[in-house]
Structure 1
Amino acid sequence: MLIDSTEALASFVGRAAGAGALAVDAEFMRERTYYPRLCLLQLATEREAVAVDPLAGVDLAPLAPLMRDAAVTKVFHAGGQDIEILNRVFGAPPAPVFDTQVAATLAGFAAQASYQDVVASVLGVTLEKSQRYTDWSARPLAPEQVEYALDDVRYLIPLYREMRRRLESAGRMAWLADEFERMADPATYAVDPEKQYLRVKRASSLRGSSLAVLRELAAWREREAQRRDIPKRWLVPDETLVEIARRAPKREADLVGVRGLSEQVVRRHGRAIIEAVERGLATPRELWPVIERPSSRRTVSAEVVDLMAALVRARARAHGVAPTLIATRSDLEAFAEGDRESPLAHGWRHAMVGAELEGLLRGEIALSVSEGGVAATPVERGAVKREDGDEA
């Protein structure tokens, strides 16, 4: 069913209230804008599925209370971008949420398993892929396009029910709580312009005042792209931003000839670019940003990381998940260095193996070979071994 009026949407919301779970998916375009442009919003309960057309002038306001109804779980598959869009539309992300792709990783599926693959495996339904590259901003929508879009939510509720059953049976539902709370947290979708320099390609090639200049340039570009709702690359590409930061030009005329910087951008934004450079150069030395490089940051020995990796592999095998889904070697190195932002420090990864890794790093857990695998056992305090093997 295609909803192309606010009244029809309000009617659906009335029927969906109290449903317990609401499947949600969004079709959007962002190739020519900074913010994703919502083109179609698919919703489903266990009884019906609808496609809401915001480009037909439908006011989505009647949907806002349902999106924040604590009694209705909003179900997504790989819903990060969808939730980002809805956060902007409604001023807050949907809550509570359940993501079947995230759940699938703990139910034996590969990381980032596709909706089609999970539906086929769990529900035995083969979904069409013919409209995968549809321009969802084009109107009118053909009936087959609407049906294709509705398939993205038709099977989400039964998939959600089965995923819950499997995870509850395995005692893993609680592991997902932190991840789903993060997805429903407005802070997750907040963009800090002052930190965007960290996302600039080749930013790590700069140091000192040059990196301070890049920070100011990237913050200016982010705010200007937001203001004009255009892709950042349309203003100044990453490579050009780094080159400007390296040169630190003093005058607008010095910008002419910088590769990747058009004359139109210089005319329109030259003064703002120079002002950003000036702010960066005026930054006190003690406030210069620093991007740590792996070669200088890592102090944990390779042997320690090898032990950690062995424990991760053992726990991954026991729980039927891929080791790389739990942690990469870089993740283990950072965790051993005390990175409290590491995924291993939170959520299901911490429950599965992170807590044991902390014990291993503190010397409270020893690894040994047992039945062809790795066993972790508590270390008895006071039983200190000498190099000759005798107890002290």
Structure 2
Amino acid sequence: MEYISNQENLDAFVRRATSSSVLAIDTEFLREKTYYAKLCLLQLATDSEVVIVDPFAVDDLLVLVPLMEDPSIMKLFHAGHQDLEILHRELGVLPSPLFDTQVAAALLGHTLQIGYGPLVHSLCGVALKKSDSYTDWSRRPLSPSQLEYAADDVVYLPRMYRIMVERLEAKGRLAWLDNDFAAMADPANYVVDVRQRFKRLKRVGQLSRRQLSAAREVATWREVTAQQRDLPRKWILTDEQVVEACRREARTIDELFMVRGVRERLNTRDARAVVAELTTGLDLPPDQWPELDKALKSEPNVDAQVDLMEALVRQRSKENDIAMQTLAGRSELSLVARGYTDQADVLKGWRRAMVGEELLQLLAGRLALSLGPAGLVVSVVEPQE
């Protein structure tokens, strides 16, 4: 393992890595005090070596871009969404092609979202240390135990990748992952739509549509401000403060400061900006008021349908040695039962072929479930004349 703390050594590693068939990638970062994750360490492993790059010490990480875009090098991750988000921001590109061992593990009978340590133990028979999992990666110098922990996060990825590919090919499932990995490499999935952020406010469902209009404007202002200042959005205003200001329909600074804690968070200039956003949202015509996605709990009860669908999904997941949640969780089955078919992954790609089409047939009354000596029996319902 090599610790890279200057540009010359990073450039040399990039030259060596071009001949590798794989590049395992992991990051260590901090996010508690910033909007954007602060990259503190970058771990990389090829067919033959492991390096730990100190982003505080090198001049230019962009020399890694050709490796990330090289179609002959498979980029390896475990639960890589946050790593990919950071790489996209730091390098301006997303690695491709890529393979995520957590995503792939679900197709080999492992639990959904299995951790890196348990997967390493399962596939490689190695028990990893956990002593530095909550360390401060921004402090320097890093201790030997920190460097060992960081290196462990990539050193086993190439071996696991090869084991998993062999097993997936034996089951005829390797191509099933193409859409999942293509989505992970799509830049559109890492772009924040600031105008939709209001839908994720805590307790936003308490607001009227007119108040939602104000919440959309204030939440947009908060998101943009947090990005510009690189501060956590809750340091600007908390979700609860945004919702309460909108519920009160505050139109003056004095009314805004009636919300607990807002006076301490906002200076006069920011308070004036928030009041302007509130007023803009409240004064929009009704045809421009937003609407939250329809609450499932307010719709007809579909527990009976979901119970039957769940039994079928459990049966197919058992037969195919796939984690049940990988096929479809109960919340997704509720979507299907209520007719939201375009939102359900179980009705797309390989999931549709394995069980999705049967779910639709079951809901249409063209399939029946019964119990036999060997367990669940799925049978076709003959149409009545």
TM-score band, normalised by the shorter chain? over 0.9
Q: Tell me the alpha carbon deviations over residues 254-310 of structure 1, each in whole angstroms, 9 at most, x when there is no partner.
A: 1223113133514241111011112211222123222222232x3464332222112
Verify: 1:27 aligned to 2:2, yes or no: no
Which digits, 9 at most, give the CA deviation of each residue in 1:148-198, with x for residues without a partner?
111111110000111111111112212211111111000111100011011
- 1:364 CA drift (Å): 4.3
TM-score in terms of structure 1 length: 0.92
Where do 5+ consecutive residues of structure 2 fail to align? none
Match of 1:294 in 2: 296
Offset from partner CA, 1:295-326 (integer Å, 9 cap, x none): 32x34643322221121111121122343343
Query: Judging changes above 3 Å, is the alpha-carbon distance between structure 1 residues 84 and 154 closer, same or farther for their aligned structure 2 residues?
Result: same
> Gaps (5+ residues) in structure 1?
385-391
Instruction: Give the 3 Å change call, closer, same or farther, for CA 148–264 of structure 1 in structure 2.
Output: closer
On the 8 A contact 2:65/2:93 being kept in 1, the answer is no
Tell me if the contact between 1:240 and 1:258 (Cα under 8 Å) persists in the aligned partners: yes
Name the aligned partner's letter for residue 145 of structure 2: E
- Structure 1 residue 239 displacement after superposition: 0.6
Deviations 1:91-123 (A, max 9, x none): 122111111011111112112211111111110
Post-superposition offset of 1:343: 2.3
The match for 1:223 is 224
Q: 2:360 aligns with which of 353, 358, 361?
A: 358
Relative to structure 1, is the Cα distance of residues 20 and 365 closer, same or farther in structure 2, using a 3 angstrom cutoff?
farther
Contact 2:21 2:47 survives alignment (8 Å)? no
Task: Give the 3-state SS of the residue equivalent to 1:367 in structure 2.
Answer: strand
Q: Could you tell me how far apart the structure 1 residues matched to 2:328 and 2:188 are?
A: 24
Aligned residue number for residue 153 of structure 1 = 154
- Within the alignment, does 1:2 sit opposite 2:3 as a pair? yes
Shift of 1:203: 1.0
CA contact (8 A) 1:208 1:288 kept: yes
113-122 or 274-283: which moved more? 274-283
CA deviations on 1:204-231 (whole Å, 9 max, x unpaired) are: 1212101111111111110000000000
Counterpart residue identity of residue 328, structure 2: A
Q: Which amino acid aligns with 2:377?
A: A
In 1, Cα distance between equivalents of 2:93 and 2:349:
23
Equivalent position of 2:14 in the other structure: 13
1:36–1:85 Cα contact (<8 Å) kept? yes
Q: CA RMSD in A?
A: 1.8
Check 1:339–1:240 CA distance in 2 against 1; reply closer, same or farther (3 A cut).
farther
Matching residue of 2:51: 50
In structure 2, C-alpha distance between the alignment counterparts of 1:107 and 1:57, rounded to whole Å? 39
Q: Is the 8 A contact 1:195 1:215 kept in 2?
A: yes
Distance in 2 (alpha carbons) for counterparts of 1:373 and 1:4: 60
What's the secondary structure of 1:340's corresponding residue?
Answer: helix
What residue is the counterpart of 2:274 in the other structure?
273
Cα deviation for residue 41 of structure 1 reads 0.4
User: In the alignment, which residue of structure 2 is the partner of 1:108?
Assistant: 109
Question: What is the aligned partner in structure 2 of residue 169 from structure 1?
Answer: 170
Secondary structure of 2:260's counterpart equals coil
Residues 240-279 of structure 1: pairs in structure 2 closer than 5 A: 240-279=241-280
Q: Does 1:343 align with 2:342?
A: no
Deviations 1:43-87 (A, max 9, x none): 001200000110113311110111111221110011110001001
C-alpha deviation, 1:347, in angstroms: 4.4
**Is contact 1:175–1:351 with CA below 8 Å preserved after alignment?**
no
Look up the match of 1:376: 378
Q: Deviations over 1:316-350 (max 9, x none)?
A: 21122343343232211112322412222334433
1:389 aligned partner: none
Deviation digits for residues 341-383 of structure 1 (CA, Å, limit 9, x no counterpart): 2222334433432232233334444434444333334455xx3
Give the partner amino acid of 1:374. L
1:61 aligns with 2:62: yes
Whether the 8 Å CA contact 1:178–1:346 is kept in 2: the answer is: no
Q: Which residue of 2 aligns with 1:309?
A: 310
Residue 64 of structure 2 aligns with an amino acid whose one-letter code is L
2:184 equivalent in structure 1: 183
Amino acid at match of 1:372: A
Secondary structure at the aligned position of 1:316 is classed as: helix
Contact 1:29–1:39, Cα closer than 8 Å, also in 2: yes
- Judge conservation of contact 1:76–1:99 (CA < 8 Å) in 2: yes
Identical residues among aligned pairs (%)? 47
Give 2:125's aligned amino acid: G
How many aligned positions are there?
Answer: 382
Distance 1:146 1:92 in 2: 26
Scaled by the length of structure 2, the TM-score of the pair is: 0.94
User: Cα 1:16–1:347, aligned 2, differ >3 Å: closer, same or farther?
Assistant: farther
Aligned residues of 1:252 and 1:266 also touching (Cα < 8 A): no
SS at match of 1:304: helix
Contact 2:335 2:343 in 1 (8 A): no
Moved more, 108-117 or 234-243: 108-117
Q: Could you tell me how far apart the structure 1 residues matched to 2:133 and 2:59 are?
A: 24
Is the CA contact 1:365–1:376 (under 8 Å) kept in the aligned structure 2? yes
